[in-house]
Structure 1
Amino acid sequence: MLHPAPVLLTAGDVAVSVLPDAGCRLGSLRIGAHELLRTAQEIDDPAADVFGYGSFPMVPWAGRVDRGLFNNGPVRHRLPVDLTPHAAHGTAVRSRWRTAAAPAVTDEGTTAAFVLELADPWPYPGRVTQLFELTPERLRTTLSVEALRDSFPAQAGWHPWFRKWLRDGGPQASLDFAPAWQEERGADHLPTGRRIDPQPGPWDDCFAFPDGVDVTVRWGEELALRVTSDCAWAVVFDEQADALCVEPQSGPPNGLNSAPHLVTPIEPLEVSTTWTWRRGSARHSG
């Protein structure tokens, strides 16, 4: 059951709606008159299609986990399969988060923080914090994953659904990015482990950015949204008719098995992403 209970952040004519009871996702991002995200109102059943709208955090893993199985040293764990035949996008998207710091106005904009205690079906106690920092020119989001007792492998990232059109008759969104390589995708939609030259779209593919994710979504000359992150990987998905995804994440799909990041009680996993927008004909270069 969906419980929207939005928390609103504003800065100038920019408004962000956070839905802590629906996976602590962004339910809306409005820049002036334009909504940039596919919203819950645009899909048939948001309660069932939790992966299909807004922009949600992927944690404590990102993307698919092969058949829902992963190891922590000699111990094997099984996660629920929800994107057959794999476990997908973490447990946080189906969870209710607690508001840790209500929206507060700063000199630059508005901030808010939310917390989730990791629980079943994730097998290790832990805590996730998500911080939003909004200004009239950008939105910075930070995820931190802490181990409360035992160490465990983890990933973190975000799964936004950007509209392909901001308005009827407007320009279609295009992507501008230059990854170091593309992970070859197998028939099971997992990376094979082979690096290949980036291929033309359409995509449902993982790309490597060793110096940090840098992708620009551009709606003609009307608006450009630059997605940057200290994550070194991004999945790009543009096979649906009305929306596309640019998903920064700390490891590739199935990374719990192929490239695990160990979270310990003294070493959390922390990643951030920044969305910077420019209106009119301004273009990013470099």
Structure 2
Amino acid sequence: MATDALHPTVWLRHGRQRLGLVPSLGGSVAAWQLERAEGLLDLWRPWDGVTADLYRMASFPMVPWSNRISGGGFEEAGEFYPMRPNRAGEPYPIHGDGWLQAWQLDSLADDTATMTLQSQRFDGNPYEYRAVQRFRLLEDGLEQTLEVQHLGSTPLPYGLGVHPWFLRTTGTRIVAPVQGVWLCGDDPLPTRHTEQIPQDWDLGRGAPAFGSFVDNAYTGWGGDARIEWPEHGLQLSLTMPDFEEDGGAGRHYCLMYRPLDGNAFCFEPITQPIDAFHLEGRPGLRTLARDETLRMRMQWRFEVLASRLGS
């Protein structure tokens, strides 16, 4: 894979896997690939090595919040903090500001890496923080951690998430225990919550990777999920080892982005739903005082499907 000279890719390797990181382009992931007899298999959709649009990366971090904030900003402790849009074509600030800044590669070994970001009121945002990403390849997958420490003198609400893109085949399914979903308008900002999940959106039963348009956050998520690729005889599972300790389903959410066209979709573990800053109770947001931290730890594991074992 060729890489843009302005944004070189750093590669980790372990056994049959390789993981490409691009610290200078939002601390993002360029590719996560598995070497098989029939060739490389992309577990996340790979970056083309040229396009600087973060939506073309394999994955990127969302810090110090995930998804959209409406209303031109948010209020905390009686003070209003203005926020402005940060992506062309988006009317609202989206996905935080960590993905818009260059990260520093702090440590690197054959199969592990740490990237950090010190952010000081980027683009007029009120946030001052230090973020850390850790990656470790294992024999059967990847351990990934995203952490943020508040550095400002005034407490502020925080959220975290990661934004991986998965290649989809006709038979691809996404399975995750959920209890409800936030419906939305065209924005897409949430308008109401329902436990009557549309059938082809229902992650609990297994949702297809192709179908009607979805850009919605789910509630009651149990902290695990799996992506099934029957055509490849493989599935990728996600677990969060600190899920219950960190508040369980009441403080975690997931989001599916399923566009009508294209070869990829997103399944995003997040700590707060879309526009949580303006929802009743501000679900999932954590108000951090100076030096307090918020962390997400994720364990991704791939395995051969039973059908492939029997073939």
Same fold at TM > 0.5:
yes
Q: Pick from 159, 168, 193: which aligns with 1:155?
A: 159
Describe how 1:18-37 pairs up with structure 2 within 5 A: 18-32=21-35, 33-37=40-44
| Aligned twin of 2:144 | 141
Root-mean-square deviation (CA, aligned residues, Å) is 2.2
| Aligned twin of 2:208 | none
Task: Give, in angstroms, the shift of residue 68 of structure 1.
Answer: 4.1
Identity percentage of aligned residues: 24
Q: What secondary structure does 2:273 align onto?
A: coil
CA distance in 2 between partners of 1:68 and 1:88 (Å) = 12
CA distance in 2 between partners of 1:52 and 1:255 (Å) = 26
Change in Cα spacing, 1:156 to 1:282, as seen in structure 2 (3 Å) is farther
Letter of the 2:114 partner, please give it: A
CA distance in 2 between partners of 1:192 and 1:28 (Å) = 35
Letter of the 1:157 partner, please give it: G
Q: What runs of 5+ residues in structure 2 fail to find an aligned partner? A: 202-211, 244-250
| Aligned twin of 1:112 | 113
CA distance in 2 between partners of 1:268 and 1:241 (Å) = 37
Q: What secondary structure does 1:21 align onto?
A: coil
Change in Cα spacing, 1:219 to 1:255, as seen in structure 2 (3 Å) is same
Change in Cα spacing, 1:186 to 1:275, as seen in structure 2 (3 Å) is same
Listed one character per residue, the Cα deviations across residues 175-227 of structure 1 (whole Å, up to 9, x for unaligned) are 12231111122332112242332222432211123532x22111116110112
Listed one character per residue, the Cα deviations across residues 148-192 of structure 1 (whole Å, up to 9, x for unaligned) are 132211111011111114xxxxx5422122311111223321122
Describe how 1:204-223 pairs up with structure 2 within 5 A: 204-212=215-223, 214-220=224-230, 222-223=233-234
Aligned length: 269
Listed one character per residue, the Cα deviations across residues 252-285 of structure 1 (whole Å, up to 9, x for unaligned) are 01123432311222421111222111124379xx
Maintained 8 Å contact 1:173/1:219:
yes
Letter of the 1:274 partner, please give it: Q
CA distance in 2 between partners of 1:74 and 1:186 (Å) = 29
**245-254 or 142-151, which deviates more:** 142-151
Q: Verify: 1:56 aligned to 2:60, yes or no.
A: yes
CA distance in 2 between partners of 1:279 and 1:7 (Å) = 28
Letter of the 2:304 partner, please give it: R
| Aligned twin of 1:76 | 80
Q: What secondary structure does 1:87 align onto?
A: coil
CA distance in 2 between partners of 1:268 and 1:282 (Å) = 43
| Aligned twin of 2:294 | 269
Q: What secondary structure does 1:139 align onto?
A: strand
Task: Give, in angstroms, the shift of residue 2 of structure 1.
Answer: 8.1
TM-score of the two chains, using structure 2 as the length reference: 0.79
Listed one character per residue, the Cα deviations across residues 60-110 of structure 1 (whole Å, up to 9, x for unaligned) are 11011114412222222222312522111111111100112222x5xxxx2
Q: What secondary structure does 1:187 align onto?
A: coil
CA distance in 2 between partners of 1:161 and 1:153 (Å) = 27
Letter of the 1:268 partner, please give it: T
Maintained 8 Å contact 2:161/2:270:
yes
CA distance in 2 between partners of 1:154 and 1:7 (Å) = 29
Q: Verify: 1:46 aligned to 2:39, yes or no.
A: no
Change in Cα spacing, 1:138 to 1:149, as seen in structure 2 (3 Å) is same
Change in Cα spacing, 1:256 to 1:115, as seen in structure 2 (3 Å) is farther
Maintained 8 Å contact 1:2/1:46:
no
Q: What secondary structure does 2:148 align onto?
A: strand
Maintained 8 Å contact 2:174/2:228:
yes
Q: What runs of 5+ residues in structure 1 fail to find an aligned partner? A: 166-170
| Aligned twin of 1:168 | none
CA distance in 2 between partners of 1:194 and 1:35 (Å) = 35
Letter of the 1:191 partner, please give it: P
Q: Pick from 217, 222, 228: which aligns with 2:239?
A: 228
TM-score of the two chains, using structure 1 as the length reference: 0.86
Maintained 8 Å contact 2:166/2:266:
yes
Q: Verify: 1:125 aligned to 2:124, yes or no.
A: no
Letter of the 1:235 partner, please give it: L
